[in-house]
Amino acid sequence: MERYLVRGAGKLSGILPVHGAKNAALPILAASLLCDGCELHNCPRLSDVDAACHILNHLGCSTRWQNETLLIGAGDSRDCSIPDHLMREMRSSIVFLGAMLAKYRQAKLTFPGGCELGPRPIDLHLSSLRKMGVCFEQQGDALYCSVPKELHGASIDLPFPSVGATENIMLAASLAKGDTVIRNAAREPEISDLAGFLNAAGGCVHMEKDGTVRIHGVEKLQHCTYSVIPDRIVGITYLCCAAITGGRITICNTEPNHMRAVFPIFEEMGCRLSIGSHEVSLQAPERLKAARSITTMPYPGFPTDALAPIMALSMVARGTSIFTENIFQNRYKQAWELCRMGAEIRTEGRIAVVRGVEHLHPASVICTDLRGGAALVIAALVTEGVTTIGEIRHIERGYENLPAVLNQAGACITVE
Ligand code: UD1
């Protein structure tokens, strides 16, 4: 089992390009099942993307890398099911449900795996698809999905703007009969990217500013070429790496607009930002100040996936920070591991209180989930000595070559 050895190594500096967004690429890969093949640029090479490719291969599509472009060849399979071992590889495997229903009008799958962020039900996915004519039957841990009459458009009001449910409805609706309207849909940039891909393939998806998505079902989708948006959470993570070391970096190939909810927090912590059209430069102070209150919300609010990286900064900032997590129930699993490095964190339900300390010390820690793992790497950059980070498979789900990228900016991370 590989692990990172991180040696605290002073201020980071340099220019770091940001790779394509995992959370945009995965639903787009599910959508590619519906096209006559596609050419996907800026697709990140991550274990979760590999897992999506394995599902596509199982469903008869070919997948081939050409540098950072993923070529997907159309295919067909008589087996409209996803085996349990592929479903467990990642939580987002559930987004294949909408695509399979659109293509085969049936599907069989088991309940998905992924990050352990508390209960992650799929009731909103199922109740929405039911309105579109889908029937579900659960047998053991298997879910049998069928469309007895026709897959048709529907008017759907989501009680919560679930990202995954919005994506599944969009996928099913793109080849359903008639029109679908989703109200209170998720508005994350990754949703707009899925809409962009479906439209590039000949679909008809319209997103309104108030969180309404309108989809007109079409007969079929064609071959298309598309470029995935940059990963906003990866960009924020790189900025955090520089900020904790008192460094100065520029992230490029990025979309600053997608990260704007996090910029005021960096500024409150004493960082100076310079924001261009596709790049962000950050100059950190010698010691960060605490950001008083960080509250996660659906987009365009502060993203839940940025909570753990910012928490790592608050551990060494001057003062006390209060985090309120409103999206997932169990987002503080990394807190125990961070405390092993000398952090002072108290959690109670959705709240975490972090009192900044002057120094962190090296420890042997393990990743509990993807963003929690990133927080461990950020914190380890300022420990005086070598921190060992295990279970790095969590980090590799969402960060492409993180050690090599950070070493390029002056970090000292080895993989063994
Ligand atoms: C996606 C992202 C994840 C991000 C999250 C919120 C991907 C692959 N993952 O996850 O990185 O943190 O959005 O921005 O894109 N819920 C229900 N019932 C449902 C669906 C969701 O109760 O049917 C609840 C969940 O338990 C959770 C909340 O809604 O508490 C948010 O879930 P959702 O927006 O669906 O997130 P994901 O799509 O799982």
pLDDT in tens, 194-219: 999 999 999 999 999 999 999 999 99
pLDDT at position 115 is: 47
List the residue whose alpha carbon is closest to atom 16 of ligand 1: 121
Token pair of 99, please? 């695509």
Count Cβ atoms below 10 Å from residue 121 Cβ, excluding itself.
9
Q: 3-state DSSP helix/strand/coil percent for the chain, to nearest 5? A: 35, 25, 40
Phi, psi at 195, each rounded to 5°: -60, -40
15 CA → ligand 1 middle, Å: 32
Closest CA to 310 of 369, 378, 360: 378
Q: How far apart are CA 307 and CA 322, in angstroms?
A: 11
Ranges of CATH 3.65.10.10 domains, the chain: 4-19+230-415, 22-227
CATH of domain 4-19+230-415: 3.65.10.10
pLDDT at position 77 is: 80
Count Cβ atoms below 10 Å from residue 293 Cβ, excluding itself.
11
Q: Which fold has domain 22-227?
A: UDP-n-acetylglucosamine1-carboxyvinyl-transferase; Chain (3.65.10)
Tell me, using a 6 A CB cutoff, whether residue 123 lines ligand 1: yes
Whole-prediction pTM value? 0.97
Closest CA to 411 of 3, 13, 2: 13
Q: How far apart are CA 247 and CA 146, in angstroms?
A: 55
Return the ligand 1 atom nearest residue 329 CA: 30
Helix (H, G, I), strand (E, B), or coil: what is residue 125?
Answer: helix
List the residue whose alpha carbon is closest to atom 7 of ligand 1: 23
pLDDT at position 361 is: 95
pLDDT at position 120 is: 66
Return the ligand 1 atom nearest residue 299 CA: 14
390 CA → ligand 1 middle, Å: 26
Tell me, using a 6 A CB cutoff, whether residue 124 lines ligand 1: yes
Residues of the chain with pLDDT under 70: 112-120
Token pair of 42, please? 């800026």
165 CA → ligand 1 middle, Å: 8
pLDDT at position 92 is: 78
- Whether the CB-CB separation of 365 and 341 falls below 8 Å is answered with yes
Which residues are known catalytic residues? 115
Return the ligand 1 atom nearest residue 303 CA: 14
Query: What's the mean pLDDT when you consider all of the chain?
Result: 95
pLDDT at position 113 is: 52
Tell me, using a 6 A CB cutoff, whether residue 120 lines ligand 1: yes
91 CA → ligand 1 middle, Å: 10
Q: Which residue shows structure tokens 């008589």?
A: 78
pLDDT at position 90 is: 78
Q: How far apart are CA 290 and CA 351, in angstroms?
A: 16
Instruction: Provide the greatest CA pair distance for the chain.
Output: 65
Tell me, using a 6 A CB cutoff, whether residue 23 lines ligand 1: yes
Q: How many helices (H) and strands (E) does the chain have?
A: 14, 23
Q: How far apart are CA 57 and CA 55, in angstroms?
A: 5
